[in-house]
Structure formats: C-alpha cells, structure tokens
C-alpha cells in the first residue's frame, strides 16, 4: 500500500483511518455505500469528531477508487481468513448439538 496524502485520512498499522481517530476508513466507506448520509455516519462514529472529516474521508475514497477497492478487497480477505482460523466459540457447541439431535431422532 503506497502512501496517499490527505488531511482527512491517515495510513497506519497497515490500514486507513479517519485522521485523528481510531475509526477505520472502511467503516465510513461501507456506511456510505449502504446509503447512509455523512450526518448519520458521524452519529454512528462520533469519534471522527466533525462532519468535515466525514466528507473528507468520503472524498478521499471517491478520489482513489482503485486503491480503495484493492484495500477493501484485502481487508475482506484478511477478515475471512481470520474468521476461518478462529470460528465463533459457539459454532462447535451448535454443531455438536445438531449431531446429538440427529442421533436421537434416528
């Protein structure tokens, strides 16, 4: 990921974040793509701090569509890999319960 300069977005820890906050840019992008307004996004992620930062983050993403698509695809791949390596704790219990129910019903 090559550095892209912006006063509203920072690159750190291998990801993009709204400047001065711990809010990931992907959170803002996904909310915007779901049709949420910048005002609603600020309500959901008040740590962003200002409406100008929300608009700035959205503008950054719109100005760099290829970089953002690649970044989001990579984040999705990492998330999916982590999900496969660390399934939810209840998944094993649910699987065993289903097996027990199947055995009892036969």
Q: What is the pLDDT of residues 52-77, one digit of tens each?
A: 999 999 999 999 999 999 999 998 89
Q: Which residues of the chain, if any, have pLDDT below 70? A: 1-4, 91, 105-106
Separation of CA 97 from chain center: 32
pLDDT of amino acid 105: 65
pTM for the model: 0.73
pLDDT of amino acid 69: 93
- With b for 16 or more beta-carbon neighbours within 10 A and e for fewer, the 14-34 pattern comes to eebbbbebebbbbbbbebbee
pLDDT of amino acid 3: 61
């Amino acid at each position: 990921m090559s550095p892209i300069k912006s006063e509203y977005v920072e690159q750190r820890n291998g990801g993009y974040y709204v400047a001065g906050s711990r809010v990931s840019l992907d959170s803002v992008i996904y909310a915007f793509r779901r049709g949420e307004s910048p005002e609603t996004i600020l309500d959901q992620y008040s740590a962003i701090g200002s409406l100008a930062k929300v608009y700035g983050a959205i503008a950054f993403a719109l100005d760099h569509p290829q970089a953002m698509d690649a970044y989001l695809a990579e984040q999705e791949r990492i998330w999916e890999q982590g999900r496969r390596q660390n399934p939810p704790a209840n998944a094993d219990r649910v699987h065993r319960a289903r097996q027990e129910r199947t055995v009892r019903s036969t």
